Structure 1
C-alpha cells in the first residue's frame, strides 16, 4: 500500500537523515520533503529509497531554483494520476522502443578525415591512437564502427585501459563530482517505479518525449539496476548496482548514454571503457 499521509511519512522518516524535515503534499500526487541538506544528498536519497517498501513511493531529488515547489499549496493536487493512468504509463514504458528518438540525426556516413583524429585521441586520458586508426581502419568506416574499433583496441591493452579509467571514471561513473544545486527538494512519487519519474520531473532532451525517456529508464533499471536519484532538468544522476560487462554490453550502453547525454564530454569509447568500473552515472544534456 502506498502512503498518502504526509504525517505518516514524516513518522516513517524518524531516525534517518530526513527526520524532522517539512513534509507535505506536492504537485500531481507527490509527497514533498523540503530543506534537504545539499551536503548529504545521496545519503538522504538512500534513506528514502530504503523506505520504499513502507511508503510505496520512489524518491527523486529535484532542483527548486525558483522556489516554485516550496511555494506549492499544502493540499493534495487534484491532478494526481489514477491507478489506471499509472498502469498505462508503466505499460507504455515497458513496450516502447525509445532509441529512435534519442539516436535521431545519427548517420552511418563515413567519418570525415578531419574528424578521425578527434575521435582517436582521448579527452581525459593520454591515449592517442591516431596513427593506429589511420593504418588499420578503412576510410569508409562510420563513427560507430570507428569508435568500436578504438574501444576494442584500448580494452585489449591493460595499460591503455588503466589510463582511461584513471582519467575518465571519476567524472562520469562515480558520485565524486556529482552536481549539487543550491536549493533541493525531494519528491516521493505516487509510484514505486522509478522509471516513471519523467512524468513528474522534466528533462531537457526529452521534453515532449517523456514516454521515450521512461522507456529508456525502464530498460536501464531492468538490465543494469540503474536507479534514478536526481533530475536537475539538464542532468540525470543514477546509482548502478549491476554494471555492464566489458565488450558488447558496455559498448552498446555507452552508445545509449551518449545518445541521451548530448552534452557529456568525452568519447563513446572512453565511456564504454569505464562503465564496468563504476557504480554511478552522470548524464548531461543542455540547450
Structure 2
C-alpha cells in the first residue's frame, strides 16, 4: 500500500515537479536602435528604485499575505458582531457603542501592523546587508525615506481602508454623524502616518531587529494605554477636575520623559525633544 501511495502521489505531482518548456525558453530580447545590438529585455524600473521595489516586488515574502488573511478574518468577525447587535442599541460600559469598540479594536490593530511594517522595511535592509549598498548609490535620503514610507502605506492599504469602511457603514445607517465621521477620518489618517514614521525611526535607531520592533511597538502601546488611562481618569474626575490636576500633571510629565527616552535613544535632536515635551500637553489640551 505504501508503494502504491507513493506512485500515486508521484503521478499527481509530476506536472509540478517537472518544469514545463516555458521554463527553458530564452529571455525576451530587444534590439538597440542605434547599434543594432540584441540585448536582454529587463523589467522597467521607476525613477525611484526604492519605491519600485516596495510596490512592484514581493519584498517581504509571504508573511504579509498571512497577516492580512488573519486581519480579514478578525474584520469579518467584528462586522458580523456589529450586524448581530445593530438592533439592540446597548452601550458597552454605559459609554461606548459596539460600533465604537469595533472601530477602536480594528484601528489599534491596524496602527500596530502599520508600525511593524515600517520597522520591518528598514530592518530587512539591515539584516540582508543591503542598506550599506544603498548608501553608496545615487539614491538620495529623500528618495529612500519617502520611498519606504510610501511603500509601507501601500502594502498596508487594506489595513487602513477597512476601519474607514466601518465608519462609512455606520455613517450610512445613521449611527454616526457626518461631522464626527470627518473628525475620525482625519484623526485616523494622522495616526497612520505617525505609526509608519515611528516605525522607520525605530528601524534607523537600532541595529538589532528585535530591539527596533520592541521599541517601536512598545512606544505605540505606551501611547495608547496612556491615553486610555488618561481619558478614564478624566471622566471619573470630571466633577472635581481641578482637584485632580496634580495627578494629571504627573501623568503628563511621565509621558514626556517616556517619549524622550524612546525617540532620542541614539539620535538626539532638538525637534524630537520638543515633540516629546509638547505632545503630552497637546494631547491633554485636545481631550479637555
Answer 1 or 2: higher relative contact order, Cα 8 Å, separation at least 6: 1
TM-score in terms of structure 1 length: 0.26
TM-score in terms of structure 2 length: 0.26
Q: Which has the higher helix share?
A: 2
Q: Which has the higher strand share?
A: 1
